[in-house]
Chains A and B, each alone.
Chain A
Amino acid sequence: MSDLPKPDEFLDTIDHKPPPKGWMDTPTQIKPGMYCYASNPKSVEYVGLPNARQWNPLDDDWGLPENWRQILHEGFKERLDRFRSIKVFMDICVRCGACADKCHFFIGTGDPKNMPVLRAELLRSVYRNDFTTVGKIFGRLNGSRKMTLDVLKEWWYYLFQCTECRRCSVFCPYGIDTAEITIMGRELLNLLGLNIDWIATPVANCYRTGNHLGIQPHAYKDMLDFFVDDIEEVTGVRVEPSFNKKGADVLFITPSGDVFADPGTYTAMGYLILFHYLKDMGLDITWSTYASEGGNFGFFTSHEMMKRLNSKMYAEAKRLGVKWILGGECGHMWRVIHQYMDTMNGPADFMETPVSPITGTRFENAASTKMVHIAEFLADLIKHGKLNLDPSRNDHLKVTYHDSCNPARGMGLLDEPRYVIQNVCNHFYEMPPNTIREQTFCCGSGSGLNAGEDMELRMAGGLPRANAVKYVHEKHGVNMLSCVCAIDRAVLPALMEYWVPEVDVTGLCELVANALIIPGEKKKTTDLRGEDLPGMEDEDV
């Protein structure tokens, strides 16, 4: 059969596999679609961070200061002295490999350098060389290496391929948290002006105008006023939000993403409807244009920047004289509030332990920080039967719930949102157990990576999440993915569009508002999105 084409004919030319090499010998290639654009010098300068300049990650020359190695070394040392976490995590990893396949970026991109242990080794290798005697003596054998420009680029590339989701930390026998390592690594990179613009510009915006989008006070109010009109159109009820109101009982803070980007806007309408509903029952709540951002991209820059941006929450609460703060649906915002805010900008002794004016419940779990999550607030209201709900209004939805990383692994907010959803929806389906609760998979775009230019990275990182959604979509016909995070609401629609186009994304409060029977409302024929409610038209016929 000599006339048959040979097995290897022409196929050998399609080669794909690089020879196996150690990770330190595999040079980093910064690939389009996998990285975010460099920080805009104007934004860096506005908040007074170092080395503001125009630069491009693809260039050889990154415009670093002459003594950049020294800056990094000293910055590293300072952080080792300040944070036990980083010091312990640098020393105790035994490289057991338990974390390796837990990272959504490793699972999705297949890049071995996205194994959490290796992401940490990027820093550890330099740590060993710079700060340990054994590392200095044994060099590479001990896994240490000198800081070079290539190493720095590797840091930059892979530290911006981590969403600080902490999933690996759940599986580590020593609790080593890659989020902590990424946070320190990015903090060090920021000493050299190596931020990405998707973080740097929101930070500058937030510092100046109070929110990431840089929306000024009048526009913020205009936007909410528009929601008021929209709500009236759908429900026939006119809600009246207060702004910057002195003497209000409660200050409400939510990520600006809810106010300015779909489908978060519907969640924002949900807040407005809820507050209106509760007004007659004794809720005196105000929005603020100064503290108009719940999220905190400073958290993705440095601890100091996080504190600078977060300061507005307590400052505004004090200025307005409120008793406590209610927080909207957001992921990293809640990690900052739950684990950092009181420590950084407290004590909040000018406020009182939060008490729900409607149910009288004292939120002892927020006794010191004085800030309550809206899911906790809602769950309490529903438990006390204070909300008149008609879950059948959400009957056209088959809902699943995505635990956002930070509330799940940095707070433990798992059952409150589920309780709320199950009371406002008749069709709720969980995704598989190893993809929810503390094992939840990240959206793939957290920690400031939700830009447009890194779309491939986002889609790959979000694959494990999307895959679980696809499963419940195919099995149960799920068509709505609910979440309590503004970044999720901003990025999951794109993720769904790519992987499971039949599924849409919603916030918790949108579902609540759609099910809520508001006194004086007209016959609802559509939901907040203006989509027809099936069956509702026929009801009165």
Chain B
Amino acid sequence: MKPEKIIEKHKSAIEKRWFDMVIDTYPRDTSVFLKREKNPFSNPVGEATIQGLNGLLNELGGDIDRKRVSTYLDPIIRIRAVQNFTASQAVNFVLFLKKIIRELAEKENTAASELLAFETKIDEISLAAFDIFMSCKETLYSLRANEVRNRTFKAFQRAGLIHEDAFTETGIPGVEGLNEARGNGGEAAVVDEKDPLGH
């Protein structure tokens, strides 16, 4: 049987298994909550995950559309990008599906060529996942670097209060030292040097 057919046949079982595997990447005490809590507003992580996986399975049942795949992947990865995961941990859940499908393929006598073709689709999705992960991280970095500039610096600039060196002159306590303080966090590279206010 073709893997696409397997998905059709075992959709809800695959979905549940896949969901459990993804949720099990969280600490046990958290994962039970994520599986159990049904209110989408009390449990946005569980909800986004189940919805996304459901959509992905539908895609994999037929021809995959990269754009649609992105809309399913995005909510899951957007969340994992801000949680305690490394890059590979954030996106590897896509590959979990291989494990599930291979098990079923064994039972359903799937031809190797069909399985490999199908797995290529999963590979494609996992590459798309990586792209999304990177774009989430880029958004985070740009928020980090530019939030202050966008909100405060801009307001000052519009008001004409910013001259090239206006802020070194204000002599706010700690302002000059602020960039040093920043430096000690080891992340100075992402802080806008023009941010004189510490805000």
Contact flag (A, B; Cβ within 8 A) = yes
Are A110 and B161 interface neighbours, CB within 8 A? no
Residues of B within 8 A of A54 (CB): 180-181, 184
Which of A1, A110, A209, A452 meets B83, CB within 8 Å? A110
Residues of B within 8 A of A260 (CB): 152, 155-156, 199
Seen from chain B, the residues whose Cβ lies within 8 Å of a Cβ on chain A are: 24-30, 33-34, 37, 39-45, 47-48, 78-79, 81-85, 88-89, 92, 95-96, 98-100, 102-103, 105-106, 109-110, 112, 115, 119, 136, 139-140, 143-145, 147-148, 150-152, 154-156, 158-161, 170, 172-175, 177-178, 180-182, 184-187, 190-191, 197-199
Which of A18, A34, A204, A459 meets B173, CB within 8 Å? A204
Which of A6, A55, A202, A493 meets B184, CB within 8 Å? A55
Q: Report the Cα distance A209→B102, complex, angstroms.
A: 67
A41 at interface, CB cutoff 8 A: yes
B36 to chain A, nearest CB (A): 9
Are B186 and A214 interface neighbours, CB within 8 A? no
Q: What 1/0 mask marks residues of chain A from 1 to 44 whose CB sits below 8 Å from any chain B CB?
A: 10111111001001011101000000000011110011111110
Other 5 A-B pairs with CB < 8 A, given A215-B170, A261-B155: A46-B173, A455-B144, A456-B81, A460-B82, A498-B143
A262 at interface, CB cutoff 8 A: yes
Q: Report the Cα distance A34→B110, complex, angstroms.
A: 46
Are A110 and B84 interface neighbours, CB within 8 A? yes
A1 to chain B, nearest CB (A): 6
Residues of B within 8 A of A33 (CB): 82, 140
Residues of B within 8 A of A265 (CB): 155
A139 at interface, CB cutoff 8 A: no
On chain A, the number of residues with a Cβ less than 8 Å from chain B's Cβ atoms is 86
Are A435 and B41 interface neighbours, CB within 8 A? yes
Given the known inter-chain contacts A4-B105, A434-B39, please indicate yes or no for A107 contacting B44, CB distance below 8 A. Answer: yes
Q: What 1/0 mask marks residues of chain A from 245 to 289 whose CB sits below 8 Å from any chain B CB?
A: 000000000000000111101000000000000000000000000
Chain B residue at minimal CB-CB distance from A436: B41
Residues of B within 8 A of A459 (CB): 82, 140
Are A4 and B115 interface neighbours, CB within 8 A? yes
What would 13 A/B residue contacts be, using CB atoms closer than 8 Å?
A4-B105, A7-B102, A7-B106, A16-B85, A38-B185, A40-B181, A108-B79, A110-B83, A111-B84, A214-B174, A434-B42, A452-B148, A499-B78
Chain B residue at minimal CB-CB distance from A36: B185
